[in-house]
Homo-oligomer: A and B are copies of this chain.
């Protein structure tokens, strides 16, 4: 492998030329976010989250764990036995960052860490700071819980990021030495086994894409096909926790540990892209429907159960006890990106957007240095939190620190998800101020106030003769589209508005998406939010927060009309654009009895709201919890 030219730099999940792929990524260096929401996030990631993560890798002893292998550090292993993955994900983040706009300030950390990993690696390629020191006799024998291939997966993804982004291959070489060992041990002809935590599958397909060596694709497919055969044995968590309950090809419902389910889905989508396996593709379609039509929060959060960090049953979506792990929302974005590339369907980009502006964005504080792990949609006034992964406020780090560096690697590659190309032209999926280098030469410039404003202007420096596809978001109630002053019909094709530049080459295309506040109502089978409404504007979900309520009014007791008037209410310096919900009242008639009986056929008049109506402020859900502590609600009772 040699240094990569700028044009050839690729981003995450870049299918090969031979892949089944309706759309193609533009390349990691082809898109620059110039300003606005996503660019600000990348800046916050670079200046806040990544330096903070590097500090925390020391403070949490994740680096010391590795230094124990070389003898540079003495002491106990600290943290969970998969703590190496925190280091790898941080390295991946910096890799994408290096390809985006350089990472000089992080190179001392990167060089020292890559050097440490090279020295820590065993001669046979094995590398894992827990097992090498504490339980060498159990290496690669306890894959149900060991996370050894999970950690390798993250090491490989970090190596691929550096190789793709700037052509630096030393980290990938370390990963490949370990992967060779795994291939000898568990490849065709070797032991039939899988890892209890999927991740290696998507990583191996990426390694195949980066190296061209089909062994890695075969190994990924083998790991996919070996699941659901009971190879991991049985324990109290049940086989679905480990995604070992049924063969992937037979899947009907998303179940078990949500992050494992969704990492696996991303890996399967990669295998489908590179093999064209139709049966696996159909399994993915069923899984997608299960997740997105029956088990997803309106925020894009996934995995409702705290217990086992798992998907619940269909429609089991409590807002207060939403686990909705940050990593699950990130994994879902990864999966939907792969589905989007495969098929070109806008629903996948819609779900990327939903997660990005809500379940993922909410996970980071405004300074980029405090995080959530669980992401509830409702916090009661007296909430006590739900264990170490579900405190009531954002935390600087976690003992299980999977989420913060996962955010860092996602945000450093956000621009990769904005647009794609195909033989027919250019597709815009996420709207943001961006400069896009087109594959055929020339530049497209996007200017927009998205997600706060629905106007999107696309300017081409050279007249564009292809098809320009503009995603019409699922939430959009209409659209006005003009191309160089001409009105363009807005019938969507597979969710995209089409502007054809073949007759009249395009110079300036303007899309106007209406952004009036919307009132959202849940599917009637979602029992936990019956009789409630939520408020959104564009892709941004809103919430009410104690900090905005009149003195003496608790967020627990607010009631809104069934069809409230909602209008913009200015911009708060911390939370951004606010909305005002008219006609809210405070529920009165408090009583001690939890349950009140009355004779059959008589209604209960005791709950009538007692206050006069007032205007209720709502703020973007993703910005809640950055001011005073207190209750929060996305779903607002109407009774």
Chain A residues with CB under 8 Å of chain B are 236-238, 253, 255, 289, 292-294, 296, 298, 305-308, 312-321, 378, 380, 382-384, 386-388, 399, 475, 477, 516-532, 534-536, 556-557, 562-567, 587, 591-604, 607, 637, 639
| With known contacts A236-B388, A293-B594, A294-B594, A378–B527 Cβ distance under 8 A | yes
Q: Which residues on the B side are within 8 Å of A522 (C-beta)?
A: 594-595
Give min CB distance, A401 to chain B, whole Å: 14
Instruction: Report how far A298 CA is from B596 CA in the complex, Å.
Output: 10
Q: Is the CB of B378 within 8 A of A536?
A: no
Give min CB distance, A313 to chain B, whole Å: 5
Instruction: Report how far A316 CA is from B639 CA in the complex, Å.
Output: 17
Give min CB distance, A324 to chain B, whole Å: 14
For A379, the closest partner residue in chain B by CB is: B313
Q: Which residues on the B side are within 8 Å of A296 (C-beta)?
A: 594
Q: Is the CB of B383 within 8 A of A313?
A: yes
Instruction: Report how far A557 CA is from B527 CA in the complex, Å.
Output: 11
Give min CB distance, A548 to chain B, whole Å: 18
> Which of A378, A535, A564, A598 has the most C-beta atoms of chain B within 10 angstroms of its own C-beta?
A598
Q: Which of B238, B520, B592, B600 contacts A293 (CB under 8 A)?
A: B592
Stoichiometry, as copies per complex, reads: 2
Instruction: Report how far A320 CA is from B530 CA in the complex, Å.
Output: 14
Q: Which residues on the B side are within 8 Å of A255 (C-beta)?
A: 384
Could you jot down 30 A-B contacts, CB within 8 Å?
A236-B399, A253-B382, A293-B594, A298-B594, A305-B386, A307-B386, A313-B320, A315-B380, A315-B556, A316-B321, A317-B594, A318-B318, A318-B321, A516-B599, A516-B600, A518-B599, A519-B601, A520-B596, A522-B594, A523-B595, A524-B587, A525-B556, A525-B557, A527-B528, A530-B532, A534-B595, A535-B600, A563-B600, A563-B601, A565-B601
Q: Which residues on the B side are within 8 Å of A307 (C-beta)?
A: 306-307, 386-387
Q: Which of B313, B531, B594 contacts A530 (CB under 8 A)?
A: B531
For A514, the closest partner residue in chain B by CB is: B599
Instruction: Report how far A321 CA is from B562 CA in the complex, Å.
Output: 27
Q: Is the CB of A600 within 8 A of B517?
A: yes
For A241, the closest partner residue in chain B by CB is: B387
Q: Is the CB of B305 within 8 A of A524?
A: no
Q: Is the CB of B595 within 8 A of A563?
A: no
> Which of A319, A535, A637 has the most C-beta atoms of chain B within 10 angstroms of its own C-beta?
A637
Instruction: Report how far A596 CA is from B305 CA in the complex, Å.
Output: 24
Closest A-B pairs by Cβ, 8 of them: A531-B531, A518-B597, A566-B600, A306-B307, A563-B603, A530-B531, A521-B604, A307-B307
Q: Is the CB of A382 within 8 A of B599?
A: no
Q: Which residues on the B side are within 8 Å of A253 (C-beta)?
A: 382, 384
Q: Is the CB of A597 within 8 A of B536?
A: yes
Apart from A305-B321, A565-B601, A567-B600, list 20 A-B contacts with CB within 8 A. Answer: A236-B387, A237-B387, A238-B388, A255-B384, A296-B594, A305-B386, A306-B306, A306-B307, A307-B386, A314-B380, A316-B380, A318-B528, A516-B600, A518-B598, A519-B597, A519-B598, A521-B598, A523-B593, A528-B528, A565-B600
Q: Which of B316, B399, B524, B557 contacts A320 (CB under 8 A)?
A: B316
Q: Is the CB of A387 within 8 A of B308?
A: yes
Q: Is the CB of B531 within 8 A of A639?
A: yes
Instruction: Report how far A531 CA is from B399 CA in the complex, Å.
Output: 40
| With known contacts A307-B306, A386-B305, A563-B602, A520–B597 Cβ distance under 8 A | yes
Instruction: Report how far A164 CA is from B380 CA in the complex, Å.
Output: 48
Give min CB distance, A451 to chain B, whole Å: 15
Q: Which residues on the B side are within 8 Å of A383 (C-beta)?
A: 313
Give min CB distance, A301 to chain B, whole Å: 12
Give min CB distance, A293 to chain B, whole Å: 5
Q: Which residues on the B side are within 8 Å of A556 (C-beta)?
A: 315, 525
Give min CB distance, A237 to chain B, whole Å: 8
Instruction: Report how far A257 CA is from B526 CA in the complex, Å.
Output: 28
Give min CB distance, A558 to chain B, whole Å: 11
For A596, the closest partner residue in chain B by CB is: B521
Q: Which of B293, B384, B566, B599 contacts A519 (CB under 8 A)?
A: B599
For A541, the closest partner residue in chain B by CB is: B595
For A521, the closest partner residue in chain B by CB is: B604
Q: Is the CB of B526 within 8 A of A594?
A: yes
For A354, the closest partner residue in chain B by CB is: B595
Instruction: Report how far A564 CA is from B607 CA in the complex, Å.
Output: 18
Q: Which of B319, B477, B532, B600 contacts A599 (CB under 8 A)?
A: B477
| With known contacts A293-B592, A307-B387, A596-B521, A382–B313 Cβ distance under 8 A | yes
Instruction: Report how far A313 CA is from B306 CA in the complex, Å.
Output: 14
> Which of A292, A315, A382, A599 has the most C-beta atoms of chain B within 10 angstroms of its own C-beta?
A599
Give min CB distance, A132 to chain B, whole Å: 25
Instruction: Report how far A529 CA is from B174 CA in the complex, Å.
Output: 54
Give min CB distance, A579 to chain B, whole Å: 9
Instruction: Report how far A566 CA is from B516 CA in the complex, Å.
Output: 45
Instruction: Report how far A525 CA is from B536 CA in the complex, Å.
Output: 24
For A255, the closest partner residue in chain B by CB is: B384
Instruction: Report how far A604 CA is from B520 CA in the complex, Å.
Output: 9
Q: Which of B527, B591, B597, B607 contacts A637 (CB under 8 A)?
A: B527
